[in-house]
Amino acid sequence: MSVVIFFELICFIIAFITLIKDANFVWRSMVVFLLITCITEITGRWLRIAYHNNQWLYNIFMVIEAGFTSLMFGSILSRYINSKPIILSGLALLLLLYAHDVFEHGFLIYNDLTATVMSVIFVLYSFYYYFLLINDEQYIDLKRSPPFWWVAGTLFFHFGSTAVNLFFTSLPHVKIAGHNITYFIFTALSIILYSCWSYSFICKKWLRTISKT
């Protein structure tokens, strides 16, 4: 089992324990998304070993990731603004780029352009959320704020992914202990992502418990 899959499974278990009874459908849907993520990663690892090609699987997962992540951002941003226009605009752009990628090189090759733009969009959503948060006059205990930590993990992961994609042509030539440096970068980014998400789920459970007392 890879380090990334291990952290994904831990994050899924925490999400299941803390969110399965959450009243908010969007947060509760993270349980389903993480389950799909774990299945995708495990299946992708098997396909890479058995058939040396799992890119088509991640093209399918990209659609699911874009949908669930956009849904969550829509819910988080809706506290401050009408988030539907920017979320739907982002999804429409990704749909067009996805169709372009498939038309250009077929479905069996990973849609790099769509993935890069998707990461950029999620980074912009994250920055916009923090801008709105800074200008919010209401006091928020950040160390116990589920949206703050969920966005923090998402920002770190997709900002790092964007940087890697921009330098992708040169990074594969750098090797450490027999692995491309991108392996270590994405492993570190994934650990940050799932650690922040897990903590955000725990905060969500804690807030729900406090509200009942």
Q: What is the pLDDT of residue 91?
A: 97
Q: What is the pLDDT of residue 34?
A: 97
Alpha-helical (H) ranges within 20-172 are 25-51, 55-77, 84-105, 112-134, 146-166
The SS3 assignment for 45 reads helix
- Please report, in tens digits, the pLDDT of each residue of the chain (213 residues total): 688 999 999 999 999 999 998 889 999 999 999 999 999 999 999 888 888 888 999 999 999 999 999 999 999 999 999 999 999 999 999 999 999 999 988 888 999 899 999 999 999 999 999 999 999 888 888 889 999 999 999 999 999 988 877 765 555 555 665 567 777 888 999 999 999 999 999 999 988 776 665
Nearest to 153 by CA among 195, 201, 123: 195
Q: What is the pLDDT of residue 134?
A: 92
Q: How far apart are CA 78 and CA 75, in angstroms?
A: 5
* pTM given for the model: 0.90
Q: Domain limits of the chain?
A: 3-208
Q: How far apart are CA 57 and CA 44, in angstroms?
A: 7
Q: What is the pLDDT of residue 1?
A: 67
